[in-house]
Structure 1
Amino acid sequence: MTTRSPKPRMFLGTPVQLAVITLLAGAGSVCAQTAPAEGTAADPTKLPVVTVTATKKTTSLQKTPVAITAVSASALEDVHAQTLLDVFNLVPSLQGTGQGDHGIVSITLRGIGNDSAKTEYADPEVALFVDGVFSPRPEGASTLLFDLDGLEVLRGPQGTLWGRNSTVGTINLKTAKPVLKSQSGYFEGGVGSYNRLGARGAVNVPINDTLAMRFAFVHEQHDGYVDYQRSPQLSLASQQTAYAAANGGSLTGFQALNPNLFVQGGPKYNAQNQSAARVSFLFKPSNELRWDLSFEQFRDRGTPSMSLMQTPRAGEKFWSALIDTAPSLSRDATAVRSRVEYDFNGMSLAYVAGIGRFKGSGTYDQDLGVQIPTSFTTGANHQEDNTVWSKYNNYSHELTLQSTGKKNLDWMLGVYYAAEDNGIRFDIPIMNGTQQGTVGWQGSFIQPKETVDSKAVFGQITFNVTDALHLTGGLRYTHDDRKNIGGRGWFWTYDATVPQVPLNAGLDPTQPGNGYSAGNINDAHYTGSKTTYLLRANYDLSKDMMVYGSISTGYKSGGSGDGGLHYGPETLTNYEAGLKSTLMDGRMTFNLSAYHMNFKDFQFSAPVIVNGNRQFAYSNAEGAKVSGLEAELAARVGNDGKLGLTLSYTKTKLGELVAASNDYQLPACFDPALGGNCLRVTGNELPHAPKFALQLQYEHTFNLSDGNTLAPRISYHYQTANWLSVFNLGDGDRQKAYSTADVGLRYSAKKNWYVDAFIRNLSDARVKTSAGSAGSFANPIWTAQYIAPRTFAINAGYNF
């Protein structure tokens, strides 16, 4: 169960007091959030100099007037990060959840996000980049993190330099690059709970004085967490009684319930089976010219995450479900990324290009097993969410020219172009009772070609008024062109002459005689443009302390949904002030940011029922107001301890919105255009936005004989209650305040090998990350996605 925590005001004393004690003790270290991306400081008692690329040039983190969290490679290793889900607690105001039916990860930053960004339509509010190449679809957030130099999270809109879909922030993953004239590498393997097996490694190979190659790989797998509940044990007499009651007393057409319809073996939900490999090249024929090129392949054969009943059925385990659709997930992604940079005459010209290819499929038990059938066609329903196929191809080009060196005027100019070609077939068969039963509703959403074409020009200039005062302005103009070509929703026609069988991949709903007709005509063409801007001033109070203030805007384009209906773009204006300081002669850093965001025309989207047919609908809410405070502290305790502390406070208020969603049981809607059920949510708090959150990490290295070391570590997270949807529907739609802890112990030998053991979710807390309801509005059955239960693992590795 979720661990109980005292009231926040009582709780705050301990970690804050600890931070103050550390400050007074005069120790300095690097927390996970601000560990160096590469290199180490010359003085081991001081903090390494952390460099970031938030301004598209390499600058010191403490000298960059942007709210940035930089997570180093070593910090990712400490938390054993495999996907972005393992990183969220390290970054102030960052939240995320896995989405079951599409098997992806949705991201929320500073209270702004969109759980519906799991579909082929939706664009996320937090833009994801890998080595500066945009990853446009939400599947990108599910790929494995491996062989990275680190990652950067830019908090607040980044609409000038990073462009569309960075409405509220940007995440940039930085892969490890080849090194000239150096042969090195590492290998690691491990085992753990739920039959976990893992391996990863990399090798750097110098080919000649100007060319080097690096090969890296990773594989992670474990069994699913969700056990299968046994088939319903119903007497034949009770089945006949239930069937007759629903059919006017008649037993005509009665069939005995087939227990084999319920899955009892095979892969379980919440299993992992992922692999990835990357080969990178560095060509550097001169000091002025550098070319980085990489090829990456990702493969996923795990299973989706199952939503569980928040109150388990009597006699059943919490981590179990009555499953009538076996889980499957098949995803393959290929990426090519290139960066060419040439320095000349006090300027730098850079060309960044990327190509991405994705294909996938999956099956998911959308009825979640919350109801037990009383006969083969009564008492429950069978619903599958099946991605029969999905694919996307995307490519992007960015060319920038910027000044280099120290000048009175620093500038950057850039042009950008990106294109996508996406498609999907997504089936939803719903049968009364079981797969044997009659059709409740079923349909196939086939979008053969959806295209995105985006062009932009941008520029940014910084006037260095004095050595201490710097004024920056930036503009970006973006034009988007989006098309849905041939998209259709094919719905069951209830033709009595057609056999009532669940829609499946082998059945073509577009063919006459199969019982389907085109209910939604989704052909549409959307064009729009937007100018985003940045105004910023920063002032160096001393060589170790800087303050800054900024006004910045972000933008996400509009588009079209089912039925070809257009929705408008959303925009965000952010007012921010911040402090960055290096204390105790370089042994501590403390960064602070305060912000207020005005979010306009928020794109709310959800599955709804209109005129008896299911579709995915969009609407533009009036917007939202979000205010907050974020703090990050890093310190070294003596010469052998590392402390990291992050704090965030977030206050949100949703603007005018009447929302509908099939994922929740809602009251009957007063507006038929919004579907059968809806709720006015104006003034509600935004989901995934706890008012207060804290992350505390500590690691201490004990020096043993012969140069060996032993390093225990603990990571502690606490946050107050937060809603899981815009509906704010009570305890079922809310995660109460909770705390979790991870612990680890690493033994490092002088001869380059190590053993690392760790436990995640030490208290086995049950933490909800999203929710939904079945049944009725008056008597709902609540379900939720949860973080993983307590797991343990041990890794061993060797560096060479």
Structure 2
Amino acid sequence: MKHRYKTLSATILAVLAAGHAGAQDAPSTGDGDQQLDEIVVTATKRSTPLQRTPVAISAISADTLDKERVMTVQDVTSLVPGFQATTQGDHGVITLTLRGIGNDSAKTEYADPEVALFVDGIYTPRAEGAAALLMDLDSVEVLRGPQGTLWGRNSTVGAVNMQTARPVIGDSSGTVQFGIGEYDRFGARAAVNVPMTDTWALRVAFAHEQHDGYVDYQDPIGQIPSLADQQAAWLASGGAAADFQPINPNLFVTSGDKYNAQNQSAFRISSLWQPSDALSWNLSVEYFRDRGTPNANLMQKPRAGQPFWSALIDVAPHLERDVLALRSRVDYDINDHLSLSYIAGISDFSGSSDYDQDGGAQVPTSFSTGATFQQDRTNYSNYFSHSHELNLKTTGENTIDWILGLYYAAEENDIRFDIPIFNGTQQGTVAWQGSFIQPEQKVSSTAIFGQATWNISDDVRLTGGLRYTDDHKENNGGRGWGWQYNPAVPQVPISTGTTPGPGTGFGFGVGGINDGEYDHEQTTWLIRADGDITDKFLIYGSVSTGYKSGGLQDGGVPYDHETLTSYEIGTKNSFRNGRITWNNALFYMDFRDFQLAAPITFVDGSRGLGFSNVEGSTKVSGFESELNARLTDNDRLQVVLSLLHQKKLGTLRYAGSNDYQGLPACPPASGIGNCLDVTGNELAHAPDAQLHVAYEHDFDLASGARITPRISAHYETESWLSPFNLGDGDKQKSYARGDFTLRYEAPQSKWWMDLYVDNVADGRVRTNAGRTQVSPGNFIYLSQYLPPRVIGVNFGFGF
């Protein structure tokens, strides 16, 4: 079908160039004839024009990524209908939600999101690396709806594929970019294409971004009570006068690296070898390094006299991540009608972090009363993954176009995660502390898939697809160690050098045994029909399914897999001789056994990560629309709209989370200490409406230079931040957020400069929520937030 699409595209362009206008075209404005650039996507694992691809897909070009200052996958979300990215928990991991469906489990070693991330078509289980620096990309493709047939693993509700810029044989060129801004921001990016021979080229890319943290440290002096008040609080709690000690203010952090800082670097070298027209081999090696800091939990309503972007911190932030990735793709045209591809990837991830989970929500009244000290510490986390895909597909013009594929992916990981929780300060008494040590977890997925399109006529096509997947997971030797409340044991926070175990004198016992195995087989499928109403109006309808495997949670307890069935009708339209494209999708999704993950406390007082399956159906319906227009040769407009309806959870009576203190006590049979019935609640991160508008205008100067102001505005209705739906503190209210850039370009000199203002109105947008209980019915809510207003300048040139 590839050649057929190319022929059709060439025909359309030729007709447009001849000035032909369809019945639905608007009259010519006389402002020029410059069309929108044709976008080519790989959603069907073939290179096809976006407007001829019957899939709900948003394709964001390198030019748009640059103009919108897209640095991470979180920055992409406003450009895609129904897309949300949130920062969650102590790992600082970005988790994705699409069409109202998403989860938080990707921040753990289980790492099974509903929105799968791919880089050059290779599944990337660790979002920490893939989503950190979007470096030297050709495009980002976001496929909406289940992609279980061709894309497979964990693409339950969609997939994001980042296409890196590949070497170009025979081309010698490059770009360099520098930037400075508020919070001591410094950025540098470069990419160079080097022709080595007539059949071989290299491309080298580098990126570095850093800025100071947004969160200031509050001074404990002036907040902690007087010595007399401290002693009175200690005695009132039942403590002995002889055991009293004053609060040590040196336990609070007042200097050094701040929370919400960035310090990330990446380097990639890519090779393209093409010894003949029939054979090509793309190979790249990439290294990513992160030495920033996690995002802080901030009080939604700060204490009197304290700035909003500040916190009373007693755990200094720490974050280290290193990711080394190898990606390879070999394409071989067997003949004029068959092509064989082998796509392989290897990734080695290691990391550690330290985090102030309590966020300084309460000021201690004594060394052991009035507040909670909680340190979340990943001592180490190591993940090694590899994947392999072999596919055979037809090329050229055929009555039936088909693709067959084999897929295998595996991951091995080990992790140690410690949580000391103390009353008052870390000088105080143990509330609970534990150590979760998982020395070996293995994940493997094997699949076979096929998809075929019957070209019934030049205008009508029918597609069917099928994928069989066999998932296997096993935990070996994993233990959850918990505090045994032995008063004879010194009550000090567990250190990185402490090895829990009986007889070690550290006061820990086994709270959970994680050993176990999980196996499941699943078939996903697709049926789709599409047709050309005119050469500029494509309509399609599809029924498709997605799947995410279950697994083993802490304690070795299994949880079930989840499935999604989606019904969708879409249109793709072009107007005004290719100057306007307007794409729409109407969908209804039936989501079953949705997995909700959260840290929970069990009835015996031990803690762990718990998974709960929502029984029955979670139904979501909605409408999406994308408009791109070249209004004149100097004016461009983009509009992205998403509307969601229903969004109601099925049945889940025992949902728990330690991030939300004060939940009611659960029946002992539930196994959970505290929980809430969330049956029928609304999904989190699923606003009723999202609207993004971007407009830019070129002012051409007599010198040949150009000035381009660009305004981007994003609006969302209110949305819940958790399935608990606990009120205003658990909600992000309706908001509007705007960005502005002013670019000066000197095309003849190949250099440019821009001034940018992100978050012009300095709005405060929450990405998650949690709460600390002060007294029965009285809570302090904490959240992480999108960055404040930031102003800066970038400069770049090409050669």
TM-score by length of 2: 0.94
Pair 1:499–1:670, CA change in 2 (3 A): closer
Q: How far does residue 115 in structure 1 lie from its aligned partner after superposition?
A: 2.1
Residue aligning to 2:692: 695
Residue aligning to 2:510: 518
Residue aligning to 1:168: 157
Per the alignment, in what secondary structure is the counterpart of residue 243 of structure 2? Answer: coil
* 1:742 corresponds to 2:736: no
* 1:628 corresponds to 2:622: yes
The answer on whether the counterparts of 1:104 and 1:141 sit within 8 Å (CA) in structure 2 is no
For 1:217-616, list aligned pairs within 5 A: 217-231=206-220, 232-247=223-238, 250-345=240-335, 346-510=337-501, 512-610=504-602, 611-616=604-609
* Residue identity in the other structure for 2:585: S
- How big is each residue's C-alpha offset from its partner over 1:526-575, in whole Å with a ceiling of 9 and x where there is no partner? 00010000000001001111100000000000100011000110000000
Residue in structure 1 matching 2:661, options 656, 665, 669: 665
Q: How far does residue 28 in structure 1 lie from its aligned partner after superposition?
A: 12
* Residue identity in the other structure for 1:683: G
The answer on whether the counterparts of 1:714 and 1:744 sit within 8 Å (CA) in structure 2 is yes
The answer on whether the counterparts of 1:27 and 1:587 sit within 8 Å (CA) in structure 2 is no
Residue aligning to 1:757: 755
Q: Which range moves more in the overlay, 82-91 or 64-73?
A: 82-91
Residue aligning to 1:619: 612
The answer on whether the counterparts of 2:178 and 2:187 sit within 8 Å (CA) in structure 1 is yes
User: Which of 1 and 2 has higher RCO (CA within 8 Å, sep 6+)?
Assistant: 1
Distance in structure 2 (CA, Å) of the matches to 1:361 and 1:726:
29
Count how many residue pairs are aligned between Structure 1 and Structure 2.
765
Pair 1:199–1:26, CA change in 2 (3 A): farther
- How big is each residue's C-alpha offset from its partner over 1:650-672, in whole Å with a ceiling of 9 and x where there is no partner? 12111001211111134323323
Where structure 2 has 5 or more consecutive residues not aligned to the other structure, the ranges are 1-24
* Residue identity in the other structure for 2:592: K
Per the alignment, in what secondary structure is the counterpart of residue 108 of structure 1? Answer: strand
* Residue identity in the other structure for 1:791: V
Pair 1:327–1:662, CA change in 2 (3 A): same
Distance in structure 1 (CA, Å) of the matches to 2:789 and 2:94:
20
Pair 1:426–1:187, CA change in 2 (3 A): same
* Residue identity in the other structure for 1:687: A
The answer on whether the counterparts of 1:27 and 1:635 sit within 8 Å (CA) in structure 2 is no
Residue aligning to 2:639: 645
* Residue identity in the other structure for 1:642: R
Distance in structure 1 (CA, Å) of the matches to 2:671 and 2:26:
58
Per the alignment, in what secondary structure is the counterpart of residue 276 of structure 2? Answer: coil
* Residue identity in the other structure for 1:168: V
Distance in structure 1 (CA, Å) of the matches to 2:633 and 2:776:
58
* Residue identity in the other structure for 1:292: N
The answer on whether the counterparts of 1:198 and 1:219 sit within 8 Å (CA) in structure 2 is yes
Q: How far does residue 493 in structure 1 lie from its aligned partner after superposition?
A: 1.6
TM-score by length of 1: 0.94
* Residue identity in the other structure for 1:669: A
Q: How far does residue 688 in structure 1 lie from its aligned partner after superposition?
A: 0.4
The answer on whether the counterparts of 2:373 and 2:424 sit within 8 Å (CA) in structure 1 is yes
Pair 1:26–1:241, CA change in 2 (3 A): farther
Pair 1:100–1:682, CA change in 2 (3 A): closer
Q: How far does residue 26 in structure 1 lie from its aligned partner after superposition?
A: 5.8
Residue in structure 1 matching 2:681, options 664, 681, 684: 684
Distance in structure 1 (CA, Å) of the matches to 2:347 and 2:667:
41
Per the alignment, in what secondary structure is the counterpart of residue 240 of structure 1? Answer: helix
For 1:104-143, list aligned pairs within 5 A: 104-143=93-132
Distance in structure 1 (CA, Å) of the matches to 2:280 and 2:776:
61
Distance in structure 1 (CA, Å) of the matches to 2:161 and 2:30:
27
Residue aligning to 1:656: 651
Q: How far does residue 422 in structure 1 lie from its aligned partner after superposition?
A: 0.9
| Cα-Cα RMSD | 1.5
Distance in structure 1 (CA, Å) of the matches to 2:224 and 2:779:
24
Per the alignment, in what secondary structure is the counterpart of residue 57 of structure 1? Answer: coil
* Residue identity in the other structure for 1:656: T
The answer on whether the counterparts of 2:224 and 2:364 sit within 8 Å (CA) in structure 1 is no
The answer on whether the counterparts of 1:193 and 1:791 sit within 8 Å (CA) in structure 2 is yes
* Residue identity in the other structure for 1:78: K
Q: How far does residue 25 in structure 1 lie from its aligned partner after superposition?
A: 8.1
Pair 1:728–1:24, CA change in 2 (3 A): farther
Pair 1:349–1:488, CA change in 2 (3 A): same
Where structure 1 has 5 or more consecutive residues not aligned to the other structure, the ranges are 1-22, 30-42
Q: How far does residue 674 in structure 1 lie from its aligned partner after superposition?
A: 4.2
Residue in structure 1 matching 2:176, options 169, 173, 187: 187
Distance in structure 1 (CA, Å) of the matches to 2:557 and 2:364:
38
Per the alignment, in what secondary structure is the counterpart of residue 316 of structure 1? Answer: coil
Q: Which range moves more in the overlay, 424-433 or 614-623?
A: 614-623
Q: How far does residue 492 in structure 1 lie from its aligned partner after superposition?
A: 1.4
Residue aligning to 1:199: 188
The answer on whether the counterparts of 1:226 and 1:269 sit within 8 Å (CA) in structure 2 is yes
Residue aligning to 1:8: none
The answer on whether the counterparts of 1:334 and 1:358 sit within 8 Å (CA) in structure 2 is yes
Residue aligning to 2:64: 75
Structure 1 residue ranges, 4+ long, deviating more than 6 angstroms after superposition: none
The answer on whether the counterparts of 2:27 and 2:576 sit within 8 Å (CA) in structure 1 is no
The answer on whether the counterparts of 1:28 and 1:46 sit within 8 Å (CA) in structure 2 is no
